[in-house]
Amino acid sequence: MMNSKWHWMWTAKAWLAKALWLGGVASLLCAWAGLYRQALVLGLEPLAWYYNALIMGVLAMAGNWSAGCDDCGMCMPEETKEM
C-alpha cells in the first residue's frame, strides 16, 4: 500500500515539473512577442511575462524529471511479513 502512494507522488511531481517548464517557455515566448510588438500580450506587459517565466522555471527545477516506473523504484512488489 505504501509503495503505490509514493509512486503516485513521484509521477505527479514529475508531470508538475514538466507542466511548469512548458508554462515558463510559453511565458517567455509571450514576453518576446510583447517586446517585438511593443504592446500588451493578453493584458500583461512583457516584464510581467518575463517574471512569470522566471518563477515557473525556478519552480520546475525543484521537480524530478523522470516519470517512468523504472526510475522511481516504487513499483517493486511489496514484501509481506509472514509470522
> Is 52 within the bounds of a domain?
yes
CA pseudo-torsion sign 15, 59, 71, 9: negative
Q: How far apart are CA 44 and CA 61, in angstroms?
A: 25
> Is 17 within the bounds of a domain?
yes
pTM for this model (two decimals)? 0.69
> Is 58 within the bounds of a domain?
yes
Total domains in the chain come to 1
What is residue 1's predicted lDDT score, i.e. its pLDDT?
45
Task: Tell me the pLDDT tens digit for each residue of 20-79.
Answer: 999 999 999 999 999 998 888 888 898 999 999 999 989 888 776 665 555 555 555 555
Domain containing 41 equals 10-65
- Expressed in angstroms, the distance from the first to the final Cα of the chain is 19
> Is 61 within the bounds of a domain?
yes
> Is 33 within the bounds of a domain?
yes
Q: How far apart are CA 72 and CA 80, in angstroms?
A: 21
> Is 19 within the bounds of a domain?
yes
For residue 77, count CB atoms less than 10 angstroms from its CB and return exposed for 0-12, middle for 13-18, buried for 19 or more.
Answer: exposed
> Is 81 within the bounds of a domain?
no
